[in-house]
Amino acid sequence: MDKQDTTDFGYQQVRAEEKARKVAAVFHSVADRYDVMNDLMSLGVHRLWKRYTIELAGVRRGQPVLDLAGGTGDLAGRFARMVGPEGEVVLADINASMLRNGRERMLDKGLAGNLRFAQVNAECLPFPDNHFDLVTIAFGLRNVTDKAAALRSMYRVLKPGGRLLVLEFSRPVVPGLKPIYDLYSFTALPLMGKLVTGDAASYRYLAESIRMHPDQSTLKSMMEEAGFERTEFYNLSGGIVAVHRGYKF
């Protein structure tokens, strides 16, 4: 395969057009147990990471918000309450199984009034220019085939003064944390995946995809290349996770 036509799928190199299909298969496999696994894998800390991201968002009543890779709606549900009936939140995901579960969860919580659901590819968003005050993507950017194209697409749909928040696994910065984190990622995660979902391979991919994702400084530079300004990042849990924020002016 020509290297220019390939991309990473975990530690594998696959044709660029195959990655979306392979990622879709991963999330279709784990969709029904996704929330349970998130709690187990992070010992519940993912809720604190998401809460911190929501606090950084600065969402106000009446604003339109786009939550990409929205999964089961952890962020979108909170934003729906914050923007109120005058606002609108689009819970978007490329994966039909995840989107279905998210929609059912939001309906069960009575949050359908100002929520829309859309199956979209982050690389080519089907929304108007200058439309959203906030775009978020939590634990989804590392699964995108062309991250630079996705960042440009997010920039396009943001209003001037709008902001992007990227919550994603990143690189540990605390001395001595990396070997412990690696041991946990490549032993405990696949084992939990096998026991809870019957799928160890998807969680092995998860660990690999985290290592292939750009580190904090590289992602910051990618956001700036896409047009974002005042770009900054916040390390959480010793850099295991980071929140990047950038503005469109």
State the binding site for S-adenosyl-L-methionine: 72, 93, 121-122
DSSP codes of every residue in 42-102: HTTTHHHHHHHHHHHH---TT-EEEEET-TT-HHHHHHHHHHTTTSEEEEEES-HHHHHHH
Tell me the three state secondary structure of residue 120.
coil
Q: Output the known binding site.
A: 72, 93, 121-122
Beta 158-169 vs 241-247: how paired, if at all?
antiparallel
Q: Radius of gyration (Cα) for the chain, nearest Å?
A: 17
137 SS3 class: strand
- Tell me how crowded residue 242 is: count the other CB atoms within 10 A of its CB: 22
Instruction: Print burial letters for 53-85: b (CB count within 10 Å at least 16), e (below 16).
Output: bbebbebeeebbbbbbbbbbbbbbbbbbebbee
Place of tokens 């929205």: 70
* Cα end-to-end distance, the chain, whole Å: 41
